[in-house]
Structure 1
Amino acid sequence: MTKGNGMRATLQRRMLLLGMVPRQSRRISAPELVERLQARGLDTTLRTIERDLESLSAFLPLGRDERDRPYGWYWLADAPLQDMPALDPETALTLQILDAHASRLLPPSARERLAPQVARAREVLEATGQSSGLSLWPERVRILPNGPPLGPPAVPEGVFATVQQGLLERRCLDITYRSRSKERVRDHRIHPLALVFREPVTYLLATIEPHQDVLHLAAHRIEAAALTEVPARDPDAGFDLDQFIEQGAFDYPEGETIRIELRV
């Protein structure tokens, strides 16, 4: 391999590597990175990836968790977003509008995950200058609720990220759940199925061992959540999110005529 080809291979490997490292509080080990890079067709070794990580962390905001071996690597929570390719103004504007809308829908812990992207979008729009209408657009767009504005209830620190990870990776969660009356707090092993955002509350649809009934658990009542290595399973009868909603899980069933008397 020539020197030029070697440099290109190193650059390609390191760019892919950086894109695979998650942001704090998630982490990934060097062996996991080797597997993912090899799955992308790159012929590399554990020692090479360990050297890459050590070298890159010398000048990039990368951290590692040394409590266990192999170390878990991550981007620091306040690491600025690196754009490759650069974020264009139109996409930056879309992110700003999304942030304005999502602030009423998502719990604070979920919005915090978007903070680096939103901050970067703001920088891009400010850099466009007054010559572009895009820089003024956020001041000329408002999203108003169709009723009294309701702020989403706070979810305990770390819970929402753990719930998302369990759902994405199809793994069971061990949770501590507080009942609506706040009188009972119980520990459960659950199989996460779906997330439903019903303004302003976020619900986790799940089954609780050993039962098969699909329950909707309010995310703000989950006081603690821990990821397990146990694979999550759908109910034996199957699970269809749209059908579950249509059957009236969150409202009246669709398609049926009801008789209602209102006193206002």
Structure 2
Amino acid sequence: MAKRASTQESLVIAFEILKRIPKFHQTTAKELHEQLCQIGLVRDLRSVQRTLEMLCEHFDIVRDDRSKPYGYRWDRNSESLALQNLTPQEALLLALSQEYLTHLLPANLLSSLDGFFQEAKYQLNPSLINSKERQWLKKVAVVSETQPLLPPKIDSCVFQEISNALYHNRLLNIEYYNARQEHKSGIVMPLGLAQQGHRLYLVCRFDGYDNERSLAIHRITKAASSTFTFERPKTFKLSQYDADGRFRFGEGEKCSLSFFITKEAGFHLTETPLSTDQTITESDKHYNVFATVVRSKQLQHWLDGFKENIWDVNLASIEN
């Protein structure tokens, strides 16, 4: 029985290594060893090296032993695995995915895709012929509506623990500090991840409480995934949490909003409404706007930003 388990383990390791060997550039045993550890396949470096030697004997894998560390890649004339046959369009899609979805993918899934990302990066190399796909990366951008800020630093080990706990529905032990720089600790149920601009938030429930909170991940200094799992609350939906304005410092209170605004300052509201029920009455020099919104600090900050271009602002609570 133990022998069969060992054989199965060896096959899993070999397959994971095969997936990560590139075709058009070289990787090393150390790099492959690190990638395996990131997805929970912890083996010593020598074991990875032995597996590589075996794979070189049975597959079209080229070993460059002219200097150490040895480099490994698929023979360029071989069929190799599916990931080595990326089309230029697939390489472009993967490159964009890595740039914009890095913190929204589970850490173990992101690690398992590392071979794809590396191959995509190589195929979009300026020295290759995929010029149109490579140029596309310079033709698209996500731009900020507010003053650009550099992203806060996130501890990669902390993020991996959070991601794994969220993925497996495991309790999470954390240490963090709040906006007042008070240091705290607790056990939480991780329920969701949300990216707001450059900030990444963990939505969670603290042990002993039945309400949700958002914690800025860059303020979490330590995190350890527990072996204890939990049943995800059936009433919680991340989309509803967002709709209730919780990421905008609100509590889900719906209000009726009305105001007057100059045409120059308010024209964008005719193109991007505040709500589905928004109505606008137009006059010669201004608009009169009505909409149902969620009361939040972000809404108040947005209204204050118009200064003298907005007047007679009325925000009335709607009774349920």
Q: So what's the TM-score if we normalise by structure 2?
A: 0.53
Q: If you compute each CA radius of gyration, which structure gives the higher value, 1 or 2?
A: 2
1:92 and 1:205 map into 2 onto residues whose CA distance is: 32
**Secondary structure in 2 matching 1:139:** coil
**1:3 aligned partner:** none
2:206 and 2:149 map into 1 onto residues whose CA distance is: 29
Q: Which amino acid aligns with 2:134?
A: S
**1:246 aligned partner:** 243
Which consecutive unaligned segments of at least 5 residues does structure 1 have?
Answer: 1-9, 31-51, 61-78
C-alpha contact 1:205 1:217 (8 A) present in aligned 2: yes
C-alpha contact 1:130 1:136 (8 A) present in aligned 2: no
CA RMSD of aligned residues (A): 4.1
**1:198 aligned partner:** 196
Between the aligned residues of both structures, percent identity stands at 21
Q: Cα offset for 1:137?
A: 2.7
**Secondary structure in 2 matching 1:176:** strand
**1:168 aligned partner:** 167
Would the alpha carbon gap of residues 151 and 124 (structure 1) be closer, same or farther in structure 2, given more than 3 Å must change?
same
2:150 is equivalent to residue 137 of structure 1: no
Which consecutive unaligned segments of at least 5 residues does structure 2 have?
Answer: 1-9, 21-32, 56-71, 75-79, 259-299, 308-320
C-alpha contact 2:187 2:207 (8 A) present in aligned 1: yes
C-alpha contact 2:123 2:130 (8 A) present in aligned 1: no
Would the alpha carbon gap of residues 193 and 133 (structure 1) be closer, same or farther in structure 2, given more than 3 Å must change?
same
2:51 is equivalent to residue 56 of structure 1: yes
**1:220 aligned partner:** 218
Query: Could you tell me which of 24, 35, 38 is aligned with 1:25?
Result: 38
Q: Cα offset for 1:97?
A: 3.0
What is the number of equivalent residue pairs in this alignment?
Answer: 210
Higher relative contact order (CA 8 A, sep 6+): 1
2:13 and 2:146 map into 1 onto residues whose CA distance is: 51
Which residues of 2 match residues 98-113 of structure 1 at below 5 A? 98-101=97-100
2:19 and 2:129 map into 1 onto residues whose CA distance is: 33
2:12 and 2:163 map into 1 onto residues whose CA distance is: 30
Q: Which amino acid aligns with 1:241?
A: L
Cα deviations by residue, 1:174-207 (Å, 9 ceiling, x for unpaired): 000112111x212211111111111121111111
Q: Cα offset for 1:161?
A: 0.8
2:19 and 2:230 map into 1 onto residues whose CA distance is: 27
Q: Which amino acid aligns with 1:226?
A: A
**1:33 aligned partner:** none
Q: Which amino acid aligns with 2:195?
A: F
Would the alpha carbon gap of residues 17 and 169 (structure 1) be closer, same or farther in structure 2, given more than 3 Å must change?
farther
